[in-house]
Structure 1
Amino acid sequence: MLNKSILGVAIAAALSFSVSAEEQSIEHITITANKFAQSINDTLATVSVIERADIEKSNVRDLPAILNTIAGVDIVRNGGFGQKSDAFVRGASAKHTLVLIDGVRVSDASSGSVSLTNIPVNSIERVEIVKGARAAIYGSDAVAGVINIITRQATNNTLSATLGTDSYENYQLAGGIVKNAVTFNYNLGYEETDGYDVTGKDPSLAVTKDYDDDGYTNKNIGFNLAYKTENAGVFSALSQYSEGQGEYDNAYGNDAYDFENYTAKLGWEKSSAIYTQSASVSTSQEENIQTGTEDQQTYSTERVEFEYSGLYTLTNTVDITGGVNFLNEDLSDSSATSSEEQRDNTALFVGVFYDDDTWLGNAVVRTDDYDFHGRANTYTTALGYKANQYVTLRLSHGTAFRAPSLINAFVTDSLWYAPNSDIKPEESVNNEFGITLNTDWGRYDIAIFDNKIDNLIDNKLDANTGKYVATNIDKVSMQGIELSAEFEGFGFQHNVNLSLLDAKDETTHADLARRPSETFNYTVGQDWGAFDASLSMQYRSSRPAIYDIELAAFTVFNLSANYQLMDELSLQARLENITDKQYFTASTGFAENGELLGYNAPGRQLFIGATYQF
């Protein structure tokens, strides 16, 4: 059963409906949840959008901090800047959320993880978070949802500098030009910090090399180029590149890493009154080299992808979409060896979308044919009803899958792992019911979801060989409720969300580790002419650790402020963890005295910056 916080629900409801507000414009936002532009209310999915203006107003320093404000999303950090950060969407593990940059996959194909902390904030124009099964549209990994990061489209040239705690430095340059049919946008940045000691230490043990600050450096550059012709359509080219180093704690081996990540994409789109078609070819790399000892380990994934899709307006109420996708994944530059180091996937998809201004509906089917793992067929269906100009109801049902990695099936010459050539894809079934209310008092959303994952892949110890073998053994389920509200009241702007989650192992009936049953985010802010400020609160309930113990609940407060000193110059400040709360979201073990040790969260941190427009 869901552990419902009656007090939390009552507070959210009281905040939502006790005050008046100006009419919101979020319902007019267009997003690409179904791979073509739609109003956010017409997607029939639970969607959150973070715009560049939101990022700049909050002055957050990394992507995990941005995502941690969204209903149904919880970030598990192994420390601060540059450390491993996993996004748990609706209780599903990080590998069950597909992360894209401009529609290009960026995960490590061996583990399924994404180096979220290495995606620079200065490169982000907006973030779209679409929750629920989306495999029928995006393919493998879109089990709990999709995070699509759209890169910078700055029009004004801006130069900014930020200094902060732990010798933090950040310098950014972004801008763009529009000349006749050509649009060009660029961004580049440099970020560095000495960091802090990210793991708790047992005071009874000797001091080791891990008693040190864990620093981080990120250098990045990117561009977007578009050329619009009169008859042939729009041609585009974009790329994002970042490299750097990070340090961490590991008593037995490497304690630092170098990374080099990039995405590049060539695209074309042409529209007529009834037909829009697009094509793209992209390449990407996610590479992480573990350093600090002579035994360096490389984790590298290179991808090449091609897609063609079309959207045909059949009638005033019916649109048909479809397309073909080809994907190649290459792990041959990794240190881990496999008997198969590359694989291809070919996919076909088709969908129907209906909208008569009262009833909405869609159905999408897709078939993926992964080398070595066979065919996976998925679908998504949704029905919506606009009861009036304020209320929209939605009901969706869909399936999704996650393909095994090549390491799972074909690893060779490993001291720790053995292959399982019979490993099968993970499969899921997702159901959701939601209500959206857009009124003069604000925008409110309720989502109730149920997601079950079968054939979950886990590494099990083989007693005969003494090695771990990837095995389809577990079943997990995640049910929950999300309440969100954006409104104005008492002269302030409010953004509040509450999530209640019940995430269990269906075999043992135990709660899944690292998932809080209750999360609550609340931000209140206001503009006073040239000055604006906001105060945010993030609450996370207790959660089970991977050991037989619970991690304590915690609440963190953050303060942000901006001042427009003159037309060209503005000042920014952010104070994180105002109360210097000591907490952690992941444990590392126990001290001799029985004290639980974990990855330390940053304490109180202050960042001050300036931005100049020219």
Structure 2
Amino acid sequence: MNPDFRSTALCAAISLCLVPVARAQDAPTLDSVQVTATRIEKPLDEALASVTVIDRADIEASQAPDLIDLLGRQAGIDIARTGGPGGASTVFLRGGNSNHALVLIDGIRVGSTGQGVFDFAHLPLEQIERIEIVRGPRAAFWGSDAIGGVIHVFTRDPSAPSARATVGSYGRRGASAGAGLGDSRQGLGFTAGYQRLDGFSATNPDATFAFDTDEDGYRNRNLSLRGRTELGSHRLAVQVISTDADVEFDQGLTQARNTSGGVTLAGELTDRWTHQLTAGHAREDLASESSFSNEFHSRRNSVDWVNHLRTGDAQAVHFGLNWQRETGANSNVFDGDVFDRSRTSKALFAGYGGRFGAHVLDLSLRRDDSDQFGGATTGNVGWGWAFSELARLRLSWGEGFRAPNFNELYYPDSGFGYAGNPDLRPEQSSTWEFGLEVEPAAGHRLGASVYRSRVRDLIAFAAPLTNNAININRAELEGVELEYRFRREAWTLGGNFTWQDAIDAGTGDPLLRRAKRKAHLDLGYRLGNGLELGLDGDYVSDRADFGADLDAYALAHLRVSWQFTPAWRVEARLENLTDRDYALAYGYNTPGRSTMLNLVWNGKD
């Protein structure tokens, strides 16, 4: 481990341990429920992982302009975007590659079978009820891709009607509405939205490819449906979300259509045995209209059966099965059909865990088998100790793997140093993590995580030695994450700080677009008469990119909201208060000082 990081980790742990412990009357507690870390409902203090839960109230209070901006504020997450809203967006979780984070929507895997990533640019915040971010490997629970962790998005619950209208800089305008009917036993609802921006030029003269000063706009149409009904001791639920986006770029247009959904039957088999059976589908269709028109189609069908069997008052066995069929097809104007391939994977997983007095234990093991890449076995071990009513430490070890995507496997040799290789092995990882959560005084909550990951068999295109993708690289990822939250009466204060070292172990070079240091701070104050003020700040250190280094930057944002009736609220946000020039990707522009105004109706009488 890098000596600087070893010292930082030690200091962080000691500083938290030395905080005087007193009862936290008004602090956010550790008993919030999450479902992503182990695929079953558990309080946060039994997750044995670094978990962030962002609920609908947090989303609205943040006034974030889009999902990629909201994710970039979280500890351990770096973001990149090629241009303004709607531009291709990527997320790096704990220093891993963009395809090292498993992305789920309502429990359905949505990453493209082509590049192995999900573009968060097209998923509007108006469609989201809750986000759970689990840092660290989760392959023993979820299988491929969860090397850096899992980002799980839950779509909006339309049981309470709502509506929103938005206007802002760069020709931003949009509207959304949701409504539902039914009762506690059954119901049906929808949320629909539309966004449009005239935008600004996506690129600048530093761009490697064509540069044009025209405005690059964005349009997004989206719809989600949710339904549920009770069948005896079981509940049958259906959820579907679809987005249809048009993204303008210099001298071209990309049409991006994404749809995912599932049918779930869940309930009790006995008084100690509950289960959940889900059939899911996800698809992505990309069509690029330019001098080099290109299309990609991704399909994934899946079936998951997850079981939870209580073996004691606070202990349980969990086990389940997974089956999925993935298909990817690519074509372009010059070559016609480039590839059209499929593969089928099956998995079996099991685990045991629970609370034993002040201790929590979790053991899990999973076996994945594929007719394309063979198999992978992954495990996870976690232990937690609540050494006081208000403090808990955790220690975990876990493995991860990533199956090669279809581009890496089957893209033909075009002579430009990029060609697939059907003999690729899955990437594999192992991670140690230490964590500590403390509620030291009334209204305060502190958290710290120290981790060290090693990734082997990384897939790279090694031109000019060969045009084919090969398993050649290794990565070393280590870091420290600190989080703080304070809430008392009219004041809220929160922040997080991330130190990380993400390097190519073979060359010692830093991995691209991952900052060594980043921080976020938000301050809020609630006045009388429904008026609230807020100030947000972000800092990101310099980082390497293709062709050049990206400079460090600091941004400040101001937000105001006024709940002038129980049902109506108006929000105003001033983004990039100091009109700072900065870059998320070399050669691509970002917004300057800009404004956004929202009128919100929450359906209350």
What are the superposed Cα offsets for residues 344-401 of structure 1, whole Å, 9 maximum, x if unpaired?
A: 1000000111212411111110011122211111111101111111111100001110
Residue identity matched to 1:602: P
Q: d(CA) in 1 for partners of 2:331 and 2:45?
A: 43
8 Å Cα contact 1:20-1:489 kept in structure 2: no
Unpaired segments ≥5 residues, structure 2? none
Q: d(CA) in 2 for partners of 1:359 and 1:9?
A: 23
SS of the equivalent of 1:41 reads: helix
What are the superposed Cα offsets for residues 507-534 of structure 1, whole Å, 9 maximum, x if unpaired?
A: 1112222211111110010222311121
Instruction: Give the corresponding residue for 1:591.
Output: none
Instruction: Give the corresponding residue for 2:433.
Output: 432
SS of the equivalent of 2:307 reads: strand
Given candidates 320, 324, 329, the residue that maps to 1:332 is 329
Is 1:119 equivalent to 2:112 in the alignment?
no
Residue identity matched to 2:296: Y
Is 1:309 equivalent to 2:306 in the alignment?
yes
SS of the equivalent of 1:122 reads: helix
Question: What is the CA-CA distance between 1:338 and the residue it aligns to?
Answer: 5.9
Instruction: Give the corresponding residue for 1:401.
Output: 401
Is 1:286 equivalent to 2:307 in the alignment?
no
Instruction: Give the corresponding residue for 1:53.
Output: 57
Unpaired segments ≥5 residues, structure 1? 588-597
The CA RMSD measured in Å over matched residues stands at 2.5
Is 1:423 equivalent to 2:424 in the alignment?
yes
What are the superposed Cα offsets for residues 301-336 of structure 1, whole Å, 9 maximum, x if unpaired?
A: 111000111100011132000011001111136558
Q: d(CA) in 2 for partners of 1:528 and 1:223?
A: 37
Q: d(CA) in 1 for partners of 2:338 and 2:253?
A: 25
SS of the equivalent of 1:65 reads: helix
Residue identity matched to 2:601: Y
Residue identity matched to 1:608: L
Question: What is the CA-CA distance between 1:543 and the residue it aligns to?
Answer: 1.4
Residue identity matched to 2:228: A
8 Å Cα contact 2:572-2:597 kept in structure 1: yes
Is 1:350 equivalent to 2:350 in the alignment?
yes
Question: What is the CA-CA distance between 1:413 and the residue it aligns to?
Answer: 6.6
Instruction: Give the corresponding residue for 1:212.
Output: 214
Is 1:555 equivalent to 2:554 in the alignment?
yes
Question: What is the CA-CA distance between 1:491 and the residue it aligns to?
Answer: 5.3
Q: d(CA) in 2 for partners of 1:415 and 1:510?
A: 26
Q: d(CA) in 2 for partners of 1:20 and 1:162?
A: 42
8 Å Cα contact 1:3-1:517 kept in structure 2: no
CA 1:489 to 1:586, structure 2 compared with 1: closer, same or farther past 3 Å?
same
CA 1:266 to 1:333, structure 2 compared with 1: closer, same or farther past 3 Å?
farther
8 Å Cα contact 1:245-1:257 kept in structure 2: yes
SS of the equivalent of 1:496 reads: strand
Instruction: Give the corresponding residue for 2:588.
Output: 599
Instruction: Give the corresponding residue for 1:230.
Output: 232
Q: d(CA) in 2 for partners of 1:20 and 1:573?
A: 37
Instruction: Give the corresponding residue for 1:297.
Output: 294
Question: What is the CA-CA distance between 1:21 and the residue it aligns to?
Answer: 6.9
Given candidates 134, 137, 143, the residue that maps to 1:133 is 137
Residue identity matched to 2:542: S
Q: d(CA) in 2 for partners of 1:496 and 1:436?
A: 15
TM-score normalised according to structure 1 size:
0.91
Instruction: Give the corresponding residue for 1:166.
Output: 170
Q: d(CA) in 1 for partners of 2:308 and 2:489?
A: 45
Instruction: Give the corresponding residue for 1:273.
Output: 271
8 Å Cα contact 1:170-1:192 kept in structure 2: yes
SS of the equivalent of 1:55 reads: helix
1:584-595 alignment, distance < 5 Å: 584-587=583-586
Return 325-334 or 398-407, whichever deviates more.
Answer: 325-334
Is 1:34 equivalent to 2:38 in the alignment?
yes
Given candidates 460, 463, 473, the residue that maps to 1:461 is 463
Residue identity matched to 2:592: G
Q: d(CA) in 1 for partners of 2:20 and 2:81?
A: 35
Q: d(CA) in 2 for partners of 1:76 and 1:19?
A: 41
CA 1:70 to 1:305, structure 2 compared with 1: closer, same or farther past 3 Å?
same
Is 1:107 equivalent to 2:111 in the alignment?
yes
Identity %: 28
CA 1:208 to 1:374, structure 2 compared with 1: closer, same or farther past 3 Å?
closer
8 Å Cα contact 2:23-2:390 kept in structure 1: no
TM-score normalised according to structure 2 size:
0.92
Given candidates 17, 22, 28, the residue that maps to 1:25 is 28
8 Å Cα contact 2:437-2:447 kept in structure 1: yes
Q: d(CA) in 2 for partners of 1:311 and 1:367?
A: 18
Residue identity matched to 1:612: W
Given candidates 195, 200, 204, the residue that maps to 2:199 is 195
Q: d(CA) in 1 for partners of 2:20 and 2:241?
A: 43
Question: What is the CA-CA distance between 1:30 and the residue it aligns to?
Answer: 0.5
Q: d(CA) in 2 for partners of 1:276 and 1:62?
A: 37
8 Å Cα contact 2:78-2:513 kept in structure 1: no
Q: d(CA) in 2 for partners of 1:74 and 1:406?
A: 25
CA 1:213 to 1:63, structure 2 compared with 1: closer, same or farther past 3 Å?
same
Instruction: Give the corresponding residue for 1:241.
Output: 242
Is 1:366 equivalent to 2:366 in the alignment?
yes
Residue identity matched to 1:551: L
Return 558-567 or 179-188, whichever deviates more.
Answer: 179-188
1:493-512 alignment, distance < 5 Å: 493-512=492-511
Q: d(CA) in 2 for partners of 1:374 and 1:337?
A: 26
SS of the equivalent of 2:590 reads: coil
8 Å Cα contact 1:125-1:150 kept in structure 2: yes
8 Å Cα contact 1:426-1:457 kept in structure 2: yes
CA 1:209 to 1:537, structure 2 compared with 1: closer, same or farther past 3 Å?
closer
Given candidates 204, 221, 228, the residue that maps to 2:223 is 221
Instruction: Give the corresponding residue for 1:488.
Output: 487
